[in-house]
Amino acid sequence: MDDVILVDDNSKDNTIEVAKELGITHILRHDDNWGYGGNQKTCYEHALKIGADIVIMLHPDYQYNPKLIPSIAYLIANGVFHVVLGSRILGDRAMINGMPVYKYIFNRMLTWIQNFIIWEKLSEYHTGYRAFSKEVLEKVNFQANSNDFIFDNQMLTQIFYIGYEIGEISCPAKYFEEASSINFSRSMKYGLGVIGTSIKYRLNKWKILRSKIYYKPKERKIEVIESNIKNPADQSIRS
């Protein structure tokens, strides 16, 4: 692991101080609370900016085991997959490891529905342990996604949409009081968002709908025919 990026989404605790004590190399702070998805957008953009080849997103509450990072990165570094998820469902030990029954049922129902609609077969879409190649992050229009929790789900459908396979590795997860979670109302909003995202994906595949999240904006190129500016530092485009 070459670099660690921590994005503080304008928290009120001492996250920045702890990050400095731990020697984290890249610490970014939002001027306001941008949301779960907004936080990841900053992280991925910065990772690409510093030249990362593999980017691993891991929820920082120690619910997921960071010791799996080398195994996950290996699958991408050796060209097996461009995207790998740490699945809590593979191995059938989710509830044995403490996943609440209602969460397990909710997870299985949403996963079955989404697999059916988008014609894929992941064991789950809702893990907080994800790894991406640079190639995928450069091709996916993740900036067009929601800033809320549905960001993760939108991103997976974007990856499938452009033709990449997604690999999974079994990841036992811990459940304890301090672990991050969302309340019932936001869980319902997320569930409806998953179904909505799945339907939107299918309609885009059938060419009935054209949603901006599935299309990367084309870069506008400027051909310099002639320029009299001698100092490269002075070359800028002003609107």
> DSSP labels for 47-75?
HHHTT-SEEEEE-TTSSB-GGGHHHHHHH
Report d(CA 86, CA 89) in Å as an integer: 9
> Is residue 184's pLDDT more than 90?
no
Q: Of 129, 133, 107, 111, which Cα lies nearest the Cα of 120?
A: 111
β-strands 166-170, 83-87: how paired?
parallel
Compute φ and ψ for 59, nearest 5 degrees: -60, 135
How does residue 228 score in pLDDT terms, banded at 50, 70 and 90?
Answer: low
Residue 1 confidence class, pLDDT cut points 50, 70, 90:
low
Tell me: the pLDDT tens digits for 71-101?
Answer: 999 999 999 999 999 999 988 777 777 788 8
Per residue in 102-119, pLDDT (tens digit) is 888 999 999 999 999 999
Parse the chain into domains and list their residue ranges: 52-222
Per-residue DSSP letters for 97-162?
Answer: TT--HHHHHHHHHHHHHHHHHHT---S-S--SEEEEEHHHHHHS-GGGS-SSTTHHHHHHHHHHHT
Structure confidence at residue 236 (pLDDT): 44
Question: Does pLDDT of 38 surpass 80?
Answer: yes
Asked whether the predicted pLDDT for residue 29 surpasses 90, the reply is: yes
Q: How far is CA 33 from CA 7, 36, 153, in A?
A: 11, 9, 20
Burial of 133 per CB tally in 10 Å (0-12, 13-18, 19+): buried
